[in-house]
Every structure is written in structure tokens, then in C-alpha cells.
Amino acid sequence: MKKALEAYLGYCVRNTISRDKPQVIAIGGSVGKTSARHAISLAMSALFKPREYRTSLKNYNNELGMPLSVLACGIPNRNIFKWLKVIACSTAYLIGLKRLNMRYLILEMAADHPGDLDYLLRIAPPQIAIMTAMGAEHVEHFGSVESAIEEERRILRALPEDGEAILNTDDAFTWESRDLVKGEVVGFGRGAEAIVRIESMKSVFEADEFDNSGLEVKFKVMGYHDFAIRLKGVFGEPHAYAVAAAFVFCLCMDHDLDSAIAKLEEDYNGMPGRTRLIKGIKSTILLDDTYNAQPQAMKSAINDLARFPVQEGGRRIAVLGDMLELGDLEQREHELVGEKVVEVGVDILLTCGKLGRIIAETAIARGMDESRIKFFDSSDEAGYFLQQEVIRPGDVILAKGSQGARMEKVIKELMAEPMKAKDLLVRQTPEWLS
């Protein structure tokens, strides 16, 4: 039944897009899609009225979620009445009672299995593609990193001759894919080829004004226009890349960049579980990156922890969970994370889960003092141990792992204001909490 409903929604949306012809912008990649979409949505809100564009809801980016985003409907779950409402809505679009009377559809497209993107691209053929980074994700289903990357490249191959690709110049797999594009290619990142270049970035922490803490980024546009912005409430380079992608999009569409810059500096605050700053108990700082994890993102987060400013007496603590769906790569990729922990000089390491234990054992083998390492079966245990036995004022604590590791429980245990968990953390709906 579910597959039949998905097929019907896909049919309705495909025909609606074909008839109403909004410009489809596809956001792809193994990491950073939602942050890029969030940044672009904010930029668009400074330039257009809400009815002139529509973006993916939450992280609705698969064969069910993407059509629901186009229809602006939430996932009905097991509620039959909500499903009937979705069917009525999709039928109204199909027969023309409703129209996509907007200029842009900005849609995340994700692939968990081979062929997923072919299906999504048939429903919503893009005119513009924004690729964040490509790497090891869902390898368990694809069989190899190369196969996963080839799946992501389908988005670029789907662009028409008058289409445009906006690519991360710093990710080798992404930038090397530019030859697959029949239309124009532009870049963002640190590289000289980028039309929006990230000149520098640093995390800024203000103990007296926590809400002003964030990521300070300096950009150069088209090789001559320099400016800096502070993205409040976040840490880490993924946000710099997301905002850079949004700026390139504005430039490519000939939209006002100054309005977009002002809007992003004022209102950008990241998405729950995606490298956000949260106040911790006992005057600690929590680096919440608990939405999900794959090797590139895990190592990037550890680098960000190493660069985060620490007050006198404070320590850098990493709480890392399993990275799932890596297939034959899982042993080696967890070992590489353990090596990264030692390389950057993390002060204390806690790991959760069977695969997380590989991280801990590798860190010990690479010379980290065993007394500074603990491993646990679950994130609940790790959070409680930190709260009772470890943390002290000034500590900076990073939590990260795959969705199945439920690392948000560590952050929830350590939050200074746990009543805000529903607004700040991932997976706080009744379905997840039960």
C-alpha cells in the first residue's frame, strides 16, 4: 500500500511540475544538504515573497519526502485521515485545481539505495544543481564508495544544456565531476576557482554574551569584493560552505547579494543537531552535531572541536557514536576517526556502541592515555557519566554519531536549559521519544 501511495504522489507531482514549470533547484551530496538548503531558503526570504518559492520541508528528501515537500504536506505517518488529506491535495494539483505558482522549487535529493535519484529526477528534473560533497554514505547498500558517488553524479548528468551546476571546489569527488555537466559550472569553497571564496573562518565564543557566539567567516566574491559575517549559534566549517553556496546561487540568478548577506547574518542559526552551539550545565559549551554521521562529517567535526576556543582550565571532550551503513568500510573508517582524535589532541574521549569502541581502541593504540578514554554501550550511559563524573566549568563537549546511536541524548543530559530540548535538539517528537 505504501509503495502504491508513493507512486501516486510521484505521478501527481511529476505532472504538476511539468505543467506549471517552476525552476527546480536540486541540492545533492553526501553531507551538508540541509544546511545548504536552509541557507538558500533564508537568502530567498530576503529577496522574494513566500509564495514565490518553496523549499524542502525539514529533511524530506527521499521518494516519499520530496513529493510531500512539493505539495507542502507533512508526513502522515499512520494517520489515515492525514493520508486522505495528502491524496486529496495531490489530486487537486494533478487536475489543476491547485497550481505551483512559484518561481523556484528548492529540493533536497538523497539516495539510500541504487536508483533512488533516477526516481527523484524523473519527478523533478532540475535546471540548477548544488552539490555539497560526495563520499562514503550508505555504502552498505551501494557496495562501494565509488557506487555511492556515481549515484550522486546522476543529478549532474540530469542537467540540461542550459542548466547550471554549483559545486564545492574543495571536495575532490565533487569538483572532478564538473566535466559531466552539459551547461555552466561555478564553484564555492577555498579554491581559486570559486566565485565565492571562503578566505578564513573561526569559531568565536563570548562567555558574557553566549547568543553572540558563533562562526566568523570572511568571503571574497568574484575575486574583488571582501566581506565578513558572523553566523550566530553555530560552529564548524559546514556552515561556511552552506552560506557560500547560497551566495553563489544568488549571483547565478542575478539576485541582490547585499540583501542575502544581511538576512543570513541576522537570522541564520543552523538546524537542530547540525553543528549548533548550546549552553551546557556547569558553565560548559555543547557542540551539538548529533543529527547523523559519516566519515567526512565525523572528521570535520573533530577538527572543529580542536579549533574551538577553550577558556582557561577547560578541556576538549569528544563523545562519539557508531557510524552506520558503512558496510565493509566500517572497521577502517572508525579506526581513522580514532586516529583523528589523537592527531588533533582531544583531551577526553567517550565512545558509544560496538563500532564506537573501535574508535576508542584505536586512540589507545595510537598513544592516547587510556585513563582519558571511556566506552559505553549506549549514549544514555555516556551522558550520565559525563554529567556525574567528568565535566567541569569551561569544558567544550562535542557529541556526534549516526542517527541510530541517538547521540542527542548526551546533549539533552548536559543542557543548561533542558526545557528547550524540543526546539533545539533532533528527534524530540513523541514517536522518537517513545
**Which pTM was predicted?**
0.92
pLDDT of residue 79: 85
pLDDT number for residue 112? 76
pLDDT band at 141 (very low <50, low <70, confident <90, very high): low
Give the pLDDT confidence score for residue 134 in this predicted structure: 85
Q: pLDDT higher for 61 or 170?
A: 170
At residue 139 the predicted structure's pLDDT band, cuts being 50, 70 and 90, is: low
Class of domain 276-433: alpha beta
pLDDT number for residue 307: 95
pLDDT at 271 over 80: yes
Q: Please report, in angstroms and rounded to a whole number, the separation of the first and last CA atoms in the chain.
A: 25
pLDDT in tens, 312-368: 999 999 999 999 988 888 999 999 999 999 999 999 999 999 999 999 999 999 999
- Round to whole Å and give the CA distance between 174 and 137: 14
> Does residue 113 surpass a pLDDT of 80?
no
Query: Is residue 142 over pLDDT 60?
Result: no
For CATH 3.90.190.20, list the domain ranges present in the chain. 276-433
- Asked if the model's pLDDT at residue 74 lies above 90, the reply is no
pLDDT band at 140, cuts 50/70/90?
low
pLDDT digits (tens, 9 = 90+) for 367-395: 999 999 999 999 999 999 999 999 999 99
Per-residue pLDDT tens over the stretch 25-70: 999 998 889 999 999 999 999 999 999 999 998 778 888 999 999 9
136, pLDDT greater than 60: no
Q: Which fold has domain 2-267?
A: UDP-N-acetylmuramoyl-L-alanine:D-glutamate ligase (3.40.1190)
**Average per-residue pLDDT for the chain:** 93
Q: What is the pLDDT of residues 174-212, one digit of tens each?
A: 999 999 999 999 999 998 999 999 999 999 999 889 999
The pLDDT, as a whole number, for residue 137 is 58
Residue span(s) of the chain under CATH 3.40.1190.10 come to: 2-267
| Percentage of the chain exceeding pLDDT 70 | 98
pLDDT of residue 62: 86
Is residue 215 scored above 70 in pLDDT?
yes
